């Protein structure tokens, strides 16, 4: 079982000791003392910390070349490293390159006191698998534990690291192999299952990108992880990770919800790897909802009717696709008391979200019109329904209103996308109620225009929450903590 180490980054020894004791009391097996950040670092400080928490601490003095705070010179570093190795810490971290000349002598000193030696190397940039493997071997040859950290640019690189770590399970030297960044988070989530000696967790600010908070790492420890996630591109705007992490934490489940930022070209590779990555389920966002619908093993009624999937459940290698967008939109209409039966609606957009919205509006008895920047996509959407759906060119919109409801089902106005109105303000003025599926930012350009025109409106946050709750229930098999999910969403949008 991987030990969980909270990374302590403090400005002085007293604060480092205080934070270490708190972290150990809150579930950490170990603390990593980042000594290079201490203003009062010296032999006396090292001896004091060793006496205070050394039996449950990793003593790390990261060199400047490996991302640490600068020290005055190599002689000073060697002197301090000798002091570290001469004290009783649980582990001492020695660097493969910076400590090369004195590494073997330092390791012998540490060994006599029962301190395990971690020999580490942190790549500054992404590295190919051959270089990573060579570095692991070099670290393993000179210490009790080999630690290699490498930035990960994409999911395929993370999968390679997972496979490499699994292939080394059972070797004489334990391994810590970490992929940093959002794409590398899955290497951390699988720490136990791929035989990692230590899972480093953040205590306060993360020491490296993608590091889990201590509470999350502690929930994962000793369990088969429940790995969930979001698939699509781009993902920076999404608050789904915050929502689902809150639900997992509220139920004290050993799970994580990860961003899998992939393009259409990478979808096949992701689907082939879901078993190896222990993925139990995932959400799908733009632009992959229709592509995923064509590749899962089965579809629920809404997903099959629309040819659009936003939630996938994985069980025993079998993938089932669901459309919880339709459910979320339907429930959100009820929650805000918006009745659309016998009303007219204009839907802007022709993607997967637009299909779900049109599907619900038709079932609720609305008269639906659709517009889209690419008229051929709007025509294809209209043709996919048995009920009549009118298509209007954007250039004709100002002559075709009014509507009781206008729904924006495009990403226009979303953070990271074009910050403008999806339709001219004169069109907005012809709508009685404005429903913007965009939820980030909370005050979208469309909702700002609605306010100027004294039109009532809402963002897509309620739809997001209800579809997320349904997805969570499909994955976990129990009702989600909806209030915790809502609080997390609002906090994430501040």
Q: Which residue has the tokens 């590779």?
A: 269
Contacts (Cβ under 8 Å, ≥6 apart) of 166: 194, 195
Nearest to residue 385, comparing CAs of 350, 431, 334, 434? 350
CA 72, 75, 76 angle in degrees (round to 5)?
A: 50
E strand or H helix at 330, and its extent? Answer: helix 324-335
Strands (E), 224-272: 226-232, 255-261
Q: How far apart are CA 323 and CA 102, in angstroms?
A: 60
Q: How many other CB atoms are found less than 10 A from the CB of residue 484?
A: 17
Unique residue bearing structure tokens 């048995």: 386
Angle at 384 between CA 379 and CA 386, to 5 degrees: 115
DSSP state at residue 102: T
Strand partners of residue 281: 228, 313
Phi, psi of 100 (to 5 degrees): -50, -50
**Which residues are the active-site residues?**
289
Q: What is the DSSP letter of 115?
A: P
Contact (Cβ atoms closer than 8 angstroms) between residue 461 and residue 240: no
């Amino acid at each position: 079982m991987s030990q969980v180490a909270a990374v302590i980054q403090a400005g002085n020894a007293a604060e480092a000791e205080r934070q270490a004791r708190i972290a150990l009391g809150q579930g950490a097996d170990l603390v990593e003392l980042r000594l290079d950040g201490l203003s009062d670092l010296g032999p006396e400080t090292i001896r004091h910390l060793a006496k205070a928490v050394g039996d449950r601490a990793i003593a790390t003095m990261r060199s400047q070349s490996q991302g640490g705070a600068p020290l005055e010179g190599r002689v000073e570093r060697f002197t301090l490293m000798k002091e570290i190795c001469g004290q009783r810490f649980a582990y001492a971290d020695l660097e493969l390159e910076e400590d090369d000349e004195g590494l073997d002598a330092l390791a012998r000193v540490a060994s006599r006191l029962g301190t395990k030696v971690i020999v580490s190397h942190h790549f500054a940039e992404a590295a190919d698998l051959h270089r990573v493997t060579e570095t692991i071997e070099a670290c393993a040859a000179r210490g009790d534990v080999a630690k290699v950290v490498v930035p990960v640019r994409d999911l395929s690189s993370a999968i390679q690291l997972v496979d490499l770590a699994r292939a080394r399970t059972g070797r004489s030297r334990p391994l810590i192999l970490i992929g940093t960044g959002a794409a590398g988070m899955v290497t951390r989530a699988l720490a136990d299952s791929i035989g990692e000696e230590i899972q480093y967790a953040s205590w306060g600010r993360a020491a490296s990108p993608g590091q889990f908070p201590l509470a999350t790492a502690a929930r994962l420890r000793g369990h088969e992880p429940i790995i969930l996630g979001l698939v699509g591109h781009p993902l920076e705007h999404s608050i789904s990770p915050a929502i689902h992490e809150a639900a997992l934490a509220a139920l004290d489940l050993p799970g994580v919800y990860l961003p899998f930022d992939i393009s259409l070209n990478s979808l096949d590779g992701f689907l082939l790897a879901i078993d190896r990555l222990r993925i139990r389920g995932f959400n799908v966002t733009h632009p992959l909802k229709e592509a995923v619908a064509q590749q899962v093993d089965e579809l629920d009624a809404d997903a099959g009717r629309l040819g659009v999937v936003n939630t996938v459940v994985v069980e025993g290698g079998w993938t089932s696709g669901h459309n919880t967008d339709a459910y979320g939109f339907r429930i959100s209409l009820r929650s805000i008391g918006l009745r659309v039966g016998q009303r007219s609606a204009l839907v802007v957009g022709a993607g997967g979200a637009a299909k779900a919205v049109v599907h619900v509006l038709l079932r609720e008895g609305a008269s639906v019109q659709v517009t889209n920047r690419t008229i051929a996509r709007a025509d294809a959407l209209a043709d996919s329904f048995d009920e009549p759906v009118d298509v209007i060119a954007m250039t004709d919109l100002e002559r075709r209103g009014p509507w009781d409801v206008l729904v924006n089902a495009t990403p226009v106005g979303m953070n990271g996308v074009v910050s403008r109105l999806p339709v001219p303000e004169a069109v907005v003025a012809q709508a009685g109620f404005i429903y913007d599926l965009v939820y980030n930012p909370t005050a979208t350009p469309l909702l700002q225009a609605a306010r100027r025109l004294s039109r009532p409106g809402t963002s897509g946050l309620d739809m997001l929450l209800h579809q997320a709750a349904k997805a969570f229930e499909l994955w976990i098999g129990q009702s989600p903590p909806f209030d915790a999910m809502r609080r997390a969403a609002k906090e994430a949008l501040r």
